[in-house]
Amino acid sequence: MTYSLTRRAALIGGACAAMLTLSSAPSQAAAKIQRLVSPGGIEAWFVQDATVPLIAMKYAFSGGASQDPAGKPGVGNLVADLLEEGSGDLDSKTYHERLDRRAIKLSFSATRDHFRGSLRMLKDNKDEAYELLRMALTSARFEPADVERIRAQVISTLRRESTNPSSLADRKVLEVAFGDHPYGRPATGTLDSVPKIEIADLKDYARRILAKDTLRIVVVGDVDPDTLGKLLDKTFGALPAKAELTPIPDVVAAKPPQRAFIPLDVPQTAVTFGGPGINRHDPDFMAADVVNHILGGGPSSRLFKEVREKRGLAYSIHEALLWMDHSALFIGETGARADRAGETVDAVEKEICRIAEEGPTQQELDEAKSYLKGSQMLALDTSSKLAQEMLQYQLDKLPIDYIEKRNAIVDAVTLDDTRRVAKKLWGDGLLTVIVGRAPQVAAQPAAATPKSN
């Protein structure tokens, strides 16, 4: 499932070794993170690492898909797809040739609350890489031919998704949860909205969103602080000082239980379920993270064991906490054979009801803590992954030494905490979206295809 609303949508992995043996020395990782301020006043979190001659940068501006104009969802997504399609005096073909010639990896994406960017290059190509990024951010061309070509690609994807049960379920659960709030709109747009987006909408979005006051930056790699400060000023210094953001209200997801059904004649039924979550700065957040791992965090989770291993109802099932600037959700997904979809939904609801009423066991809590403490550090095995995680800490307004503090916060979670939070999260039941055959149709064998003579 692609959680496009989350702070982790479409993360780009790195290709170089991490600067540290993070799994054995997280405190060293925290000590290596510097707060750098350029001569022009641009701030970044920075890890200098000469292990390999690579530089990875992740950055984000506040805004994202929630800043799409009313009635035109998909503008931010289209801007993200078009910024690297030519800028300044370089047309799309020439711009991409320069990226390819130097093996520069540059990309953009629009999540719910942020417009994100990624840049990765060899140390020797840093000047050209940062110059190409500067051009994309400050002088994107938005040529009509490029706009129509990218628009056609987006529309083609949307058409495929319109017959994909998982995509339909993902969109519907957000609509059920958030209604007419910006979070309820599809970030990539709709088949009705994308054709209506004009070049003026794209230029206006870029003008309003790409500004220095909401910019957050992380750089990991083989570059010294003085050189990096000059590169940051050259790249971002000409951006407007302040963004022009439309205020977005806080919203609580719709209260469960609710169920929606979308008929679609496919052999595999998609089930997406969710409900109100826990905000990132809620004191109960870490307890929620721990108990959520117990419920749906992987092959050792309760849902996986009950739905996949014991009953054989689904190939996979997972569930996660998602948090945004103005709301939070828990959300999960599974799929089942059409004639067993009802049994699958019942099994999910039963297991979630059980953990809400009883909470986890002490053994489950101990095992979850051990996993969460070890896996985070082991996952930061490239400079790009480390930069992405550090950027998320910035966006979540966490301290620069959070890597060092995190394990102690996990250890502080008690069994009583997890039981209280489990009831808070799942005690009301689920928002459930089912996409597939109607129950009476699913119970019948598929009609035989007539043979041609």
Q: What does the chain come to in residues?
A: 453
Amino acid at 68: D
- Contact in structure between 21 and 8 (CB atoms under 8 Å): no
Of the chain, the percentage scoring pLDDT greater than 70 comes to 90
Q: How far apart are CA 380 and CA 398, in angstroms?
A: 18
- Contact in structure between 61 and 50 (CB atoms under 8 Å): no
Burial group, residue 281, by CB count within 10 angstroms (0-12, 13-18, 19+): exposed
Q: Give the model's pLDDT for residue 326.
A: 97
- Split at pLDDT 50, 70, 90, the class of 375 is confident
Phi, psi of 142 (to 5 degrees): 50, 50
Which residue is associated with the tokens 């009950």?
306
Please say whether the structural domain 26-236 has been given the CATH code 3.40.50.1820: no
CATH number of the domain at 258-441, out of 3.40.50.150, 2.40.320.10, 3.30.830.10, 3.30.450.20? 3.30.830.10
Tally Cβ neighbours within 10 Å of residue 298: 11
Q: Give the model's pLDDT for residue 175.
A: 96
pTM: 0.89
Domain ranges of the chain: 26-236, 258-441
Q: How far apart are CA 296 and CA 304, in angstroms?
A: 7
Q: How far apart are CA 77 and CA 105, in angstroms?
A: 19
- Split at pLDDT 50, 70, 90, the class of 4 is very low
**Average pLDDT for residues 343-367, to the nearest whole number?**
97
Closest among 143, 2, 154, 177 to 73, alpha carbons compared: 154
Q: Please enumerate in sequence order all residues whose Cβ is within 8 A of that of 433, keeping only pairs 6 or more positions apart, or say none.
A: 169, 172, 173, 176, 259, 260, 261, 262, 271, 272, 273
Which tens digit of pLDDT belongs to each residue from 180-211?
999 999 999 999 999 999 999 999 999 999 99
Q: How far apart are CA 218 and CA 394, in angstroms?
A: 9
Q: How far apart are CA 407 and CA 24, in angstroms?
A: 13
Which tens digit of pLDDT belongs to each residue from 122-142?
999 999 999 999 999 999 999
Q: Please indicate whether residue 129 or residue 379 has the higher confidence score (pLDDT).
A: 129
Judged against a pLDDT cut of 80, whether residue 155 lies above it is answered with yes
Q: How far apart are CA 438 and CA 264, in angstroms?
A: 8
26-236 and 258-441: identical CATH topology: yes
Q: Give the model's pLDDT for residue 379.
A: 75
**Average pLDDT for residues 266-272, to the nearest whole number?**
95
Q: Give the model's pLDDT for residue 440.
A: 60
Q: Please enumerate in sequence order all residues whose Cβ is within 8 A of that of 267, keeping only pairs 6 or more positions apart, or say none.
A: 337, 338, 446
**Average pLDDT for residues 412-439, to the nearest whole number?**
96
Q: Give the model's pLDDT for residue 377.
A: 74
Judged against a pLDDT cut of 80, whether residue 313 lies above it is answered with yes
Q: Give the model's pLDDT for residue 13.
A: 28
Closest among 48, 39, 211 to 137, alpha carbons compared: 211
Of the chain, the percentage scoring pLDDT greater than 90 comes to 85
Which residue is associated with the tokens 């799409």?
68
Judged against a pLDDT cut of 80, whether residue 104 lies above it is answered with yes
Judged against a pLDDT cut of 50, whether residue 15 lies above it is answered with no
Strand order in the sheet with 216-221: 34-37, 43-48, 216-221, 54-62, 114-122, 105-110
Q: Give the model's pLDDT for residue 14.
A: 29
Closest among 136, 119, 83 to 218, alpha carbons compared: 119
Q: How far apart are CA 112 and CA 85, in angstroms?
A: 23
- Contact in structure between 324 and 303 (CB atoms under 8 Å): no
Using CA atoms, how far residue 37 sits from 43, 45, 186, 228, 229, in Å, is 4, 9, 36, 10, 7
- Split at pLDDT 50, 70, 90, the class of 445 is very low
